[in-house]
Structure 1
Amino acid sequence: MLDKNTGAKSINQSAQAAFDDGDDVDLIQVLATLWRGKWTILLCAFALTVAGAIYAFGLAVPKYAASTTLALQARNQPVVDLESVLSGVSTDDAALKTELEVIKSRSLLEKLVAELDLLADPEFNATLRPEPAFSPRDSLFWLLGLVGLAPEPDAPPTAADILNQTVAELGEAITATNLHDTYVFEIGARTETPAKSAALTNTLARLYIEDQIALKFDATENAVSWLSDRSIALEQELREKENAVKEARSASGVISPEALQALNIQAKDVRDRMADMSLTQAALEVRAERLLALLADGTPAEIAAEVDDTVITRLWQDQTMEAGPLLERMRDRLRQIAARLQTDVERNRQQLAALELSHQRLQERFDAQSAEMVQLQQLERDAEATRVLYETVLTRLKETAVQRGLQQADSRVLSAATPGMQVAPRRSVILGLSFFLGALLGAGAILLRQMMHNGYRSAEDLEIGTGLPVLGEIPRLPIRARPMLLSYLKDKPTSAAAEAIRNLRTSVLLSNIDSPPQVIMSTSSLPGEGKTTQAIALAMNLSGLGKKVLLIEGDIRRRTFSKYFDARSEGGLLTALSGEAPLKELVSHDARVGADVLMGEKSSANAADVFSSEKFHSFISMARQAYDFIVLDTPPVLVVPDARVIGQSADAIIFSVHWDKTSKAQVQEALRQFSSVNLRVTGVVLAQVDPKRMARYYGYGSRYGTYSRYGRGYYEA
C-alpha cells in the first residue's frame, strides 16, 4: 500500500524553497532567453526597419538647412557720452541673449514675411495647404454630429490670424545661436527647399543689420533734436542769469571784495579805539571816585600820599602852617583837581559814544554789503554753470550733427548662406534607430512573455516547483485522433514517445525498490493533460515485460476508454464491484495493448461514494491476486474528488502536468488536495511536450528528455 506518512506541510515547504531559490535574476538565463528568441527579435527589428525605411524614403518631407553667420562689434568700455549712438553693444551675457531675441523678434519676422511673400507659401501659410484625406478632428466632429453634439464650425481665419500663424510657423523654422566664447551669431533655417533656406537666413541677416542702422539713425536724430531744443533753452537761461548779475552789481555799493575787506578793516580799527577809550574811561572814573572820597574824609597825609600834585605837595611840606588851615587849603586844591578830572571823564564819555555810533554804522554797512556780495557770487556761479552746460550741449550738438549719415551696424555678415543641405530625414539614423527599437521591442516581448508565463517548461522547473521527482517527460504524440494512439504505439515501438513511456515505466517501478508498486494510478490537475494516454501507454509497456496487466477506467463520469478500445463484454467496473459477474467475464483483452481492460460504467450513485466503498477496496485486493500490475486512469483532481479516494488504494500516484499550459497555481492546489488526505504523490510527469517549440522558443530540447536532437540516431520519427 501507499506510504501515507508525508503530509501537505513538507510538500509545500519544498515547493516554497524551490520558488525562493529562483527569486534572483540570472543574467545568463536572461541572455539565454533572448538568444532563444533571436528570430522574434530579428523579425521585429526587420519589421520596424522596413517601417522606418518607408517613412524615411517615402513619407517624410525632406528638410534643408542653411545658416548665415554674423560678427558682433563688441564694446568693452562703459558708455559715458553720446558716442553710443554710433556703434558697439555691451558684451555681457544678457546683452548677447538680447540680441538673439531681437533676431527672432516678431517685428523682424513680419518684415521677413513681407520681404519674401511667405503668405503665399503653403509651407508657412497653413490655409494654402490641401485638406488631408483623413483628419482625426473631422472624424471626431462627425461622431459628435451623430449624437447631436457637433460643435459650431470654426469661423474662417482673418488676415491677422493668417499673419500670426505664418509668423509662428516661420519662428519654428528659424534658429539663432551664439557660438560659445565668441561674439559670432549663427542664423539658421530649415525649409523644404535648399534655396528657400538660404534666402530666409540671408534676408533675415540683412533685415537685422538694417534694423540696427535704423535704430542708430533714429537715435542720432533724436539726439540732435533734443540737443537743439536744450541748447536754445540754455542760451536763454544764460542771458537771464548774466542780466541778473549785472543788475546786482549796479544795485550794490561794493565795487569789489577788496573794498569790502577795507571796510572790515576800518570797523576793526574803530573797535580797537573803543576798547582803549573804554579802559581810559574806567580809570578816570575810579580816580574821580577816590578824589571825592579823600575830599570827604581824607587827612592831609592821605591826600598828599595819593594825589600827585605840586601844590598839595608844597603845602604838605610847609611846616609853618597849622593842621586846620593846611587841610582846608589841601581840600580847595583837591576840589580843583576833581573838577578837572570830572571834565575829562565827561569828555572821554562823549568820545566813546561817538566811536560806538561810528562802529555800529560801519558794521551795518559791512553786513549789508556782505549779503549783497554773497548773492552776487551765487548769481555769478549759477551763470557760470549755465554757461559751461550750454557750451557742452552746443559742442555735442555740433558733433552729433556732423555724425548724421555715418551710423554703422553693430554686426556684419561673416559668411552668407548657400543653398541648404538636406538635414532631415536622417535616413541612416532612422534606419539604425528603427532597427534598434525593433530589436528592443522584440526583446521586451520575449522577456515579457517569459515573465508572464505561469506554466512549466522543463523537468527542472517542475521538480523545483513541486518538490517531487520528475518520473518522465512524455512528448506530444503525432496523432490526430484518440483511436490512432494504440496503432501509433504499436507501429512505432522505437519512437521518442515510446522510449519516454519506457523511461516512465522504469522510474515508476524503481520508485520503491524494496516494494515495487503494483497498483499505479494516473491523474492530473485538469482534463486534457495526457493522463489517459499515459495510463494506456504505461499498461502497454508493463505488459511488454511479460506481466499480466489490468487497465481500469476509473473516470466513470466521462468514460473515454470507448474511444480507444472496442469493448466486447457486457458490464464493467460497477458490475465487477457488485459481484454480479466474475472479473474475467467483464474484462476484454486488447491484443494491441497486451493487457486486460476494464471499462467504466455509468452510475446513478456518486462516483466518489462508489470508490470509497469497501467493495472497491475488496475489488482492488482481489485484482492484486489476479494481476501483476493494475493501472488506474482517474479523473482530474481539481474537478472531482474521485482521484483522492481512489488513491487510498494505490501504491504509486503518477501526476501529469501539461507542458507549458497547466499553471503553477493549479499544480500546487492539486498537490495540496492530495496532501490534505495524507496521500503522497510518487512523482510528476511533464506530459505533451512539444520538442520543436521547446528547442525553438525555450532551448530546452537540447538539455532535457530522450526526444532531444541527440537521439535522432536512436529514435524513429
Structure 2
Amino acid sequence: MNQHTQSVSESEQGFTALGGGLSEESKLELLEYWRSITKRKWAILALGLVVAVLAGAIVFSITPEYRATTTVLIEQGKRKVLSIEDVYGGASQEKEHYQTQVEILKSREVATRVVRGLRLWEYPEFDVRKPDDSVIGKLKTALGIQKTEATWTEDKLVDAVVAAFSAKLSVEPVRLSQLVKVSFTAEDKKLAALVANTVADSYISADREAKFKMTQQANNWLQERTQSLRDKLVSSEQALQAYREKAGIVSLSGSAQTMIGQQIGEVTQRLVEAKARRAEAESAYEQMKSVKDGDYSSVPAVVRNQAVGEARKAEAAASQKVAELQQRYGAEHPRMVQAMSEQKAAKDNLLRQMQSVAASLTREYESAKATERALEGALNSARGSVQNVNRQEFQLGVLEREVQTNKQLYEMFMNRAKETHESGDLQSAVARVVDAAVAPMLPVKPKKGQVIAIALVLGLFAGVLISLLLDKLDNTVKGIEDAERRFQLPVLSALPELGVQAGKNAMTMFIDKPESHLAEAVRTARTGVLLSNLDAACRVLVVTSSVPGEGKTTVASNLALAHAQTKRTLLIDADMRRPQVARRLALPPAARGLSALVAGTARLEECIHSIKGTSLAVMPVGEIPPNPVELLLSQRFRETLEVLAKHYEVIVIDSPPVELVSDAMVIAPLATSVVYVVRAMETPYPLARKGLIRLQRAGGKVLGVVLNHLDFKKAQTYYGEYSGYGKDGYEGYGYSQKTKSAA
C-alpha cells in the first residue's frame, strides 16, 4: 500500500514537471490547437503539396542564373615609387582607404567601363533594344506607357544597360581582411565569369589611369611653381646685392660688430681713467682755489711735487746756513749778506715752483676735463656706429634669409619636379586579383529544392492557420468536453448522429433498437436524472433547446421510454405552437391532450394515450390554443401538474425552444429539473448559453445538457472525444445481444 502510494506520488510529480508549469486553461487551449490541426491534417497536407507543386512549376519555368566571383586584394600601406600624398595634403587611414576602394568598385564609372568594354548590349540578356514580350510589356505597349527608342547610340545603350548591370553586380568585403568578393549573376555562366574578371581589371586600370593623371597634374603644377620660385629667387638676390651696394657693405660676417665692440671697450676704459684723473685734478684744483694769500704750501698736490720738494730743501738748507752764520757774523758781514741773498733766492725759487705747480694743476684739471669730454663723445659716436651696424646687419640678415628660403624652396621643387618627371610612367597598383572567376557549374538561383521546401512549409503553415481560424470562427459545440467547458454544466449524455433515414424513426429507437448507441446514451441520461433529487416522489423533467431542429422531442420521447421501463412515466407535449409528439408517435389526429385538460373540456383519461409495446403514457397537445402562454401561466396548469404528479413517478415535458417563445421559461420553475438539448457542431454555444442563463433567471433548475447529433467517429478523430460504443452498441464493450439477454 505504501509502495503504491509512493509510486503514485512520484508519477504525479513527474507529470507536474512534464507539464512545464502550464495552467489547465493553457493546456486545454494547446490541446484545442492540436485537435484543430489533426482533424484537418489531410487537408493541410494537401494544401502544402499543392503550394509546393505550384512553386515547383514556377521555379522550373524560371531561367536559371549563374554567379561567378573574383577575389580582389586591396593593397594598403604599400610603399609607392612616388608619394603624391605629400603634395595634396596627407594620406587616409587604412580602414577609410579600404571602404573607399570598395565603394569605387561599386561606382558607375567602373560599371560604365565594363559595359562599354564588353558591349553588353549585344548579349540577349542585356539587349534593351528587343521588345518586351511579357504580358505586362505587351499591355504597356498597347496602352502607350512603354516608350520605344527610335535610334540607339552607344551612349544611350550604355546608360540603359548600366542599371541592369549594377543590379546583378555584388561587391562584398571579406570581414577582418583586405579581400573583396566581386560577384556577377547572369544567365550565361561564361558571361558571369567574364564580367566578374572584367570588373576587377577595369577597377585596377581605372586606378592606374587616375594615378597617372594625378601625377601629370602634379608635374605641371610643380613646373609652374618652380618657375615662379626661380623668378622670386632672382628678385630677392638682386635686392640683396642692391642693398649691399647702397650701404657700402663688402662683407661683414660679424667682424664689424666685433671691432666696434672692442673699440667701445677701449674707449670706455680710457673714459674711466680720464674720469679718475679729472676727479683727482679737480680735487687739487679746488684745494688750490681755496688759498687766499698765494701760499700753496698747504696744498698737498703742490707739496708732493718733486721740484717744490727740491726747492723746499734748498730753501731749508739756505735758512740753516743763515742761522749758522748769524752765530758767527753780523748782518753786514759779506758771508752773512751772501747767505741772506742765497736764502732769499731759495725762497723765491720755492715760491716760483709752488706757483708753477699750482698753474700746472689748473692746466691738468682743464686737460682732464677736455679729455673726459672727448672720450664721452668718442664713446657716444661708437655706440651710434654699433646701432647703425646692427640695423644694417638686421636688414641684411632679412634679405639673406629670404634669399636662402627662396633658394631652398626652389631646389626642393626642382628636385620634386625632376622626380615626378622621371617616375611619371611608373605607378603601383591599388589592388590585384587573387582568385580569378571561373564559369560556375551550378546555378545560384532559383534554388529549386529550397524554394519547393519553403513553399511546402508555408503551405502547411497556411493550412494550420486556416484550420485554427476556421475553428476560431466556428462557435458551435464540438463535443462533451467542449460543452462542459463552455456551459459549466454536466453533460448528461451524448446522442449519436443517426442520419436522415434513421432519424425519421428515432422517436422510439430506445425500444426498437435497445443495443444502439442512442439507446445506451439515453440510459446514461436516465441514470443522471435518477441520481438527482433522490428523495423526490415525482420528478417533473422539462426538455427544451435553443432553436427548433436540435432534437429535443426525440430526446424527450426516448428519455420517457427509458424511464417507463422501471417507473410510471408520462410524456407531455407542451409545444403548443409546433406539436410533434402525436404525429411522430402515430397517435390519432383528433386525440385530445394538454390544452383540453387544462381548459377543462376533457377528462384526464381522455387526454392520456398509450404507446403500443410500452408502458409509457403520452399526453399530446391536442387542439392548438390561440394563447399558449396564458394557458401555461394559468393556475389550472399548475393544478394539472400537481394532479399528474400524484399518478406518475416521472413526468417528461417537451417544451418549445427558448429563443423563439417564452413557454419554456414559464414551465421551468414548475419542474423539478430542466434538461437542455444542444445539437453538436451546429448550435452556436453563445446562443445555447444565453438560453441556459434565461432559464436559470426564470427559476428553472438546469440539471444538465444533452449533446445531440454527435458524430462520435468524427469527434474522436477531430476533437479527441472518447466513445466506448461500437458500431452496434454494446459490442463496443465486448457484449453481444446474447450476453445482454442473459444478463
* TM-score (norm: length of structure 2): 0.80
- 1:63 matched to 2:65? The reply is yes
Which amino acid is the alignment partner of residue 117 of structure 1?
R
C-alpha change, 1:547 and 1:376, in structure 2 (3 Å) is: closer
Deviates further, 648-657 or 619-628: 619-628
- 1:524 matched to 2:521? The reply is no
- 1:174 matched to 2:169? The reply is yes
- 1:46 matched to 2:67? The reply is no
Give the CA deviation at 1:669: 2.8
Which amino acid is the alignment partner of residue 514 of structure 1?
D
Q: How does 1:643-658 map to 2 (within 5 A)?
A: 643-658=664-679
Counterpart of 1:111 in structure 2 is: 113
Give the CA deviation at 1:634: 0.2
Q: How does 1:548-563 map to 2 (within 5 A)?
A: 549-561=569-581, 563=583
What secondary structure is seen at the aligned counterpart in 2 of 1:682? Answer: strand
C-alpha deviations, 1:165-202, integer Å up to 9, x for none?
Answer: 64333222111122223222211011222123222212
C-alpha deviations, 1:491-542, integer Å up to 9, x for none?
Answer: 5332212221222223222323333654322112333222111012223333
Q: How does 1:94-173 map to 2 (within 5 A)?
A: 94-119=96-121, 123-124=125-126, 128=130, 130=132, 132-133=134-135, 166-173=161-168
- 1:540 matched to 2:543? The reply is no
Give the CA deviation at 1:682: 1.9
C-alpha change, 1:566 and 1:305, in structure 2 (3 Å) is: closer
What is the aligned counterpart of 1:214 among 203, 209, 216? 209
C-alpha deviations, 1:79-129, integer Å up to 9, x for none?
Answer: 9944889xx996722211111110111112122222233446675566745
Report which of the two structures shows the higher radius of gyration computed on alpha carbons.
2
Which amino acid is the alignment partner of residue 291 of structure 1?
M
Q: Contact 1:509–1:516 at 8 Å: present in 2 too?
A: no
CA distance in 1, matches of 2:238, 2:512: 142
Counterpart of 1:283 in structure 2 is: 280
C-alpha change, 1:228 and 1:303, in structure 2 (3 Å) is: closer
Deviates further, 349-358 or 549-558: 349-358
Counterpart of 1:681 in structure 2 is: 702
C-alpha change, 1:647 and 1:704, in structure 2 (3 Å) is: farther
Relative contact order, higher structure (CA 8 A, sep 6+)? 1
CA distance in 1, matches of 2:623, 2:128: 80
Q: How does 1:199-210 map to 2 (within 5 A)?
A: 199-210=194-205
Q: Contact 1:637–1:643 at 8 Å: present in 2 too?
A: yes
- 1:499 matched to 2:520? The reply is yes
What secondary structure is seen at the aligned counterpart in 2 of 1:75? Answer: coil
C-alpha deviations, 1:647-671, integer Å up to 9, x for none?
Answer: 2332332111222343443333333
Counterpart of 2:14 in structure 1 is: none
CA distance in 2, matches of 1:222, 1:714: 109
Q: Which runs of no fewer than 5 residues in structure 1 stay unpaired?
A: 1-19, 143-151
C-alpha change, 1:129 and 1:495, in structure 2 (3 Å) is: farther
Q: Contact 1:69–1:414 at 8 Å: present in 2 too?
A: yes
CA distance in 1, matches of 2:471, 2:506: 33
Deviates further, 265-274 or 562-571: 562-571
Give the CA deviation at 1:632: 1.1
CA distance in 2, matches of 1:624, 1:686: 28
Give the CA deviation at 1:241: 2.9
Give the CA deviation at 1:316: 8.4
CA distance in 2, matches of 1:627, 1:107: 105
Deviates further, 374-383 or 184-193: 374-383
CA distance in 1, matches of 2:427, 2:439: 31
Q: Contact 1:482–1:563 at 8 Å: present in 2 too?
A: no
CA distance in 1, matches of 2:279, 2:427: 87
Give the CA deviation at 1:444: 2.8
C-alpha deviations, 1:413-461, integer Å up to 9, x for none?
Answer: 2222222341111112112212222222233334444455544333334
Deviates further, 154-163 or 404-413: 154-163
What is the aligned counterpart of 1:403 among 399, 423, 429? 423
Q: Contact 2:542–2:673 at 8 Å: present in 1 too?
A: yes
What is the aligned counterpart of 2:480 among 459, 472, 481? 459
Counterpart of 1:240 in structure 2 is: 235
Which amino acid is the alignment partner of residue 377 of structure 1?
G
Q: Contact 1:46–1:435 at 8 Å: present in 2 too?
A: yes
Q: How does 1:662-677 map to 2 (within 5 A)?
A: 662-677=683-698
Q: Contact 2:515–2:730 at 8 Å: present in 1 too?
A: no
What is the aligned counterpart of 1:392 among 386, 405, 412? 412
Give the CA deviation at 1:284: 0.9
Counterpart of 1:145 in structure 2 is: none
CA distance in 2, matches of 1:641, 1:487: 28
CA distance in 1, matches of 2:348, 2:579: 191
C-alpha change, 1:28 and 1:588, in structure 2 (3 Å) is: closer
Q: Contact 1:702–1:709 at 8 Å: present in 2 too?
A: no
Counterpart of 1:16 in structure 2 is: none
- 1:413 matched to 2:433? The reply is yes
Q: Which runs of no fewer than 5 residues in structure 2 stay unpaired?
A: 1-22, 324-344, 738-743
Q: Contact 1:701–1:708 at 8 Å: present in 2 too?
A: no
CA distance in 2, matches of 1:603, 1:633: 15
Give the CA deviation at 1:330: 8.3
CA distance in 2, matches of 1:135, 1:517: 85
Q: How does 1:147-546 map to 2 (within 5 A)?
A: 166-251=161-246, 252-257=248-253, 258-293=255-290, 295-296=291-292, 302-303=298-299, 307-308=303-304, 309-310=308-309, 311=311, 335-420=355-440, 421-480=442-501, 483-486=504-507, 491-515=512-536, 517-543=538-564, 545=565
CA distance in 2, matches of 1:184, 1:103: 12
Counterpart of 1:22 in structure 2 is: 25
C-alpha change, 1:525 and 1:259, in structure 2 (3 Å) is: same
Give the CA deviation at 1:639: 2.9
Q: How does 1:520-669 map to 2 (within 5 A)?
A: 520-543=541-564, 545=565, 549-561=569-581, 563-568=583-588, 569-591=590-612, 595-601=616-622, 603=624, 605-669=626-690
What is the aligned counterpart of 1:75 among 77, 88, 110? 77
Q: Contact 1:242–1:383 at 8 Å: present in 2 too?
A: yes
C-alpha change, 1:246 and 1:179, in structure 2 (3 Å) is: same
CA distance in 2, matches of 1:25, 1:472: 22
What secondary structure is seen at the aligned counterpart in 2 of 1:378? Answer: helix
Share of identical aligned residues, percent? 27
C-alpha change, 1:161 and 1:583, in structure 2 (3 Å) is: farther
Give the CA deviation at 1:698: 1.2
What secondary structure is seen at the aligned counterpart in 2 of 1:700? Answer: coil
What secondary structure is seen at the aligned counterpart in 2 of 1:422? Answer: coil
Q: Contact 1:486–1:593 at 8 Å: present in 2 too?
A: no
CA distance in 1, matches of 2:478, 2:498: 17
C-alpha change, 1:517 and 1:127, in structure 2 (3 Å) is: farther
Q: Would you say how many aligned residue pairs link Structure 1 and Structure 2?
A: 680
CA distance in 1, matches of 2:187, 2:614: 80
Give the CA deviation at 1:385: 2.8
CA distance in 2, matches of 1:197, 1:674: 79
